[in-house]
């Protein structure tokens, strides 16, 4: 995690961490999968989430995502909860249909 006013400064700080983690895990016969990793820019400025972050693990670029799910909570880069509420509403709607079918009501 890094912060700053210019996007290049945090990216260069963050690029140091994966190298340390890569060596730590390699010493224990573990691997970090860059294809299963992602980078997210959390900001309040609406133009910044469209930026592509230059974050790499073992010289492989990590994709930048705007929405991520952590511990079952869907977050987006602008700190809105719209993705989370949409996912919860869809899940509840499908479960309500099942309960109605089991109860025999319409």
Asked if 8 and 50 sit in the same domain, the reply is yes
Asked if 59 and 79 sit in the same domain, the reply is no
Asked if 27 and 2 sit in the same domain, the reply is yes
Angle at 31 between CA 29 and CA 25, to 5 degrees: 60
Report DSSP letters for 3-59, one per residue: --SSTHHHHHHHHHHHHHHHHHHHTTT----GGG--B----SSTTGGGSPP--EETT
Asked if 58 and 72 sit in the same domain, the reply is no
Q: How many domains does the chain have?
A: 2
What range does the domain containing 93 cover? 67-106
Q: Which among 6-15, 42-51, 53-62 has the top mean pLDDT?
A: 53-62
Asked if 1 and 52 sit in the same domain, the reply is yes
pLDDT at 7: 64
Asked if 3 and 46 sit in the same domain, the reply is yes
Residue 75 has pLDDT above 80, yes or no: no
Residue 92 has pLDDT above 80, yes or no: yes
Asked if 99 and 59 sit in the same domain, the reply is no
Q: Give CA separation, 48 vs 28, 43, 51, 62, in Å.
A: 37, 7, 5, 17
Asked if 85 and 95 sit in the same domain, the reply is yes
What pLDDT digit, counting tens, does each position of 16-50 carry? 777 777 788 889 998 878 778 777 777 666 666 56
| pLDDT > 70: percent of the chain | 76
Cβ neighbourhood burial of 53 (10 Å; 0-12, 13-18, 19+): buried
């Amino acid at each position: 995690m890094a912060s700053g006013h210019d996007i290049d400064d945090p990216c260069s700080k963050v690029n140091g961490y994966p190298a340390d983690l890569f060596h730590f895990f390699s010493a224990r016969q573990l691997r970090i999968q860059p294809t299963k990793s992602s980078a997210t820019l959390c900001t309040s400025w609406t133009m910044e989430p469209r930026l592509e972050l230059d974050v790499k693990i073992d010289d492989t670029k990590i994709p930048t995502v705007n929405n991520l799910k952590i511990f079952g909570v869907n977050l987006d880069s602008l700190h809105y909860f719209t993705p989370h509420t949409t996912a919860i509403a869809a899940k509840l709607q499908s479960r309500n249909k099942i309960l109605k079918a089991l109860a025999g009501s319409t």
